[in-house]
Amino acid sequence: MNYIKERNELIITLKNKGITSEKVLNAIAKVPREIFVTDKYIDKAYDDISLPLFLNQTISQPYTVAKMTELLDTFANCEVLEIGTGSGYQACILAELGCNVFSIERISELNAYARIRIEKLGYNIQLKVGDGTLGWNNTKKFDRIIITAAAPAIPETLLSILKPNGILVIPVGNRDKQEMTKIIKTETNNLTIEKHNFFKFVPLIGKEGWK
């Protein structure tokens, strides 16, 4: 099954919900979400809902992926750090947009699950297992940072590795509800904060997240 009809219907749904970026919509139209969901939920791959994976993790609702990607406002060859690889779907959307993607997952089984799917689609994405709240390493900085888990506050380490003119997108709140937050760092390292809608994510576990 090629899911072309279902994929096109999803794009219409996302447009109706306010997603306006054509490049984001085109990326979502090209990346096959059915590869990332588990077999149990394959018939719901293009429903605009989050779906269970395993170990209490989920693949995000397509609208959430689209909204976060739109807020991230990427450009060709920008270096993006993703915290929370999950299924690998969000990372592939970013790679389809022409970004150089580095993605950290704390659960090794999910890292392996994502790696298989990413390699099957042929995207060149750097993956590692670790505490994403601490960044990729001690020195690397990024043009964009996206956190796909709920944080109690914005991790200071991640802010410190965001380049000037960079953007960080993160859901911030309690374990039940979070506000999508966009942080823009100016050339002089000042921060502008925007807040966009409420969402519900699995918790960000780590030294600068939930314990």
Residue type at 110? L
| β-strand partners of 180 | 171, 196
C-beta separation of 128 from 104 below 8 A: yes
> Is residue 60 annotated as a catalytic residue, yes or no?
yes
Find the DSSP H helices in 122-174: 156-160
Q: Which of 21, 50, 60, 87 is catalytic?
A: 60
Find the DSSP H helices in the chain: 4-16, 22-30, 62-72, 89-96, 108-121, 156-160
d(CA 21, CA 19): 6
d(CA 38, CA 4): 19
* Active-site amino acid positions: 60
